[in-house]
Structures are given as structure tokens and as C-alpha cells.
Amino acid sequence: MEALKFLRPGRVAPFTRVTWPPPGQWLAAAAPPELCRSGVHALLPDVLATWIAQELWRVELDGGQELAPGIVVAARGRLLGRVQAWSDETAREFARACAAHARRHTRGLAAEYAADAAAAAEKGVAGDSATRVGYMAARAAEAMTPGGFAAERRWQSRWLADRLGVPTR
């Protein structure tokens, strides 16, 4: 199956810090797939916003099971190519979009969180900081309504998928 993967610069996996081989070469896990423990992990577009890092890649997984919402794990995978539309500039756009969407919260804690998101978006740094804006905006939504966090994250991921030309499920 085809999925997506955020990596740190140089094709470095953010948590295992394994360097992925160049596109086309398979990367196999040493142990059978197990959520967050072993196996090649990749993302479905629904959860793009949660896992942002500097590089976005299309990946092909050999098999693959969804072991957590939006997270697919397989015994092996290979990079297909960079999603070129994901860049520092897009990350800044994303941050501003998250902050703007959060402005609809005008009262109480939600409004405070939204203001924090806006301030963070203004700092205008890409990658990690964009993710933080998304997180703050999602917390603002949760402060308005229970379940708001997850819904906001879905909105954010849909925004990203649309902006990056990635087909959603």
C-alpha cells in the first residue's frame, strides 16, 4: 500500500533515527511489526498534522496494517519520492491557517490558547514550530468542546492533504 512518511533532514526517521535508504530501496525491520516498537511505520493522510517533520515522502509498504488511527505498520517499506510541495514555506502557511482557524474561538481559555497559537504562527519558523501552532489550535478547540482536539487535528490534516495534493481516504 502507499502511505506517507515525515522524516528529519537526510531521510532520518524522527524517533528511531534510522536513515532510510534512497528511494526505491527496501528498508526491512528486524522484528515483526508491532506498534511503536518494530516495523516500518507510515502515515495515512488523516493524521498528517500530528507528525510533521522537515521532509515529507511518499512510501510504499509491503503489506501493512493500521495499528493505530492513521498509522500503518509493515515488515518493510521503501521511499517513492519527496512531496515537493511540503517546504518551510508551506509549513508557515499551515501554521497561519491553523491560527486563523482558531480565531473562531472568542471566549475563555479557548480564546487564550488561540491567541498563543497566533503568536507562535507569527514567529514564522517552519517544521517543529508549525506543529506547535497546530497543537495549540487543537487544544483551543478542545477547550471549547470535548472532542474538539481530534476534530481540529482532522481539519488540519485535511488542510495539509489538500494543500499538498495528497489524496485523502
Partner 1 sequence: MTLVDRHGPSMLRLARVYVRDRAVAEEVVQEAWLGVLRGIDRFEGRSSLRTWLLRIVANLARTRAVREAHSVPFSALAGAEDEEEGPSLPPDRFRGPDERWAGHWAVPPEPWNRPEDELLSGETLALIAAAIDALPERQRRVITLRDVEGCSAAEVCNVLELSETNQRVLLHRARTKVRQALDDYLTGSQDRDRP
Partner 2 sequence: MSVPELTCEELVEVVTDYLEGGMPAERRLLFEEHLAFCEGCQTYLEQMRETIRLTGTLMEDDLEPSARDALLGVLRDWKRR
Q: Please choose which of partner 1, partner 2, none residue 128 contacts, taking the beta carbon within 5 to 8 angstroms, the exact cut-off set by kind.
A: partner 2
Q: Which position among 60, 116, 142, 152 is part of the footprint of partner 1 (CB under 8 A)?
A: 116
How far, in Å, CA of 146 to CA of 148, rounded?
5
- Decide if residue 113 touches partner 1 (CB under 8 A): yes
Nearer to partner 1, 81 or 108 (CB): 108
**Cα–Cα distance, 126 to 42 (Å, whole number):** 22
CB of 4 to partner 2, least distance (A): 14
Give the span between the Cα atoms of 45 and 153, in whole angstroms.
11
- Out of partner 2, partner 1, none, what residue 14 binds, judged by CB under 5 to 8 A for its kind, is partner 2
What amino acid is encoded at 113 in this protein? Y
58 touches 79 (CB < 8 A): yes
Taking the C-alpha atoms of residue 24 and residue 19, their distance in angstroms, rounded to an integer, is 14
| 146 contact choice in partner 2, partner 1, none (CB below 5 to 8 Å, kind-dependent) | partner 2
| Closer residue to partner 1 in complex, CB, 102/160 | 102
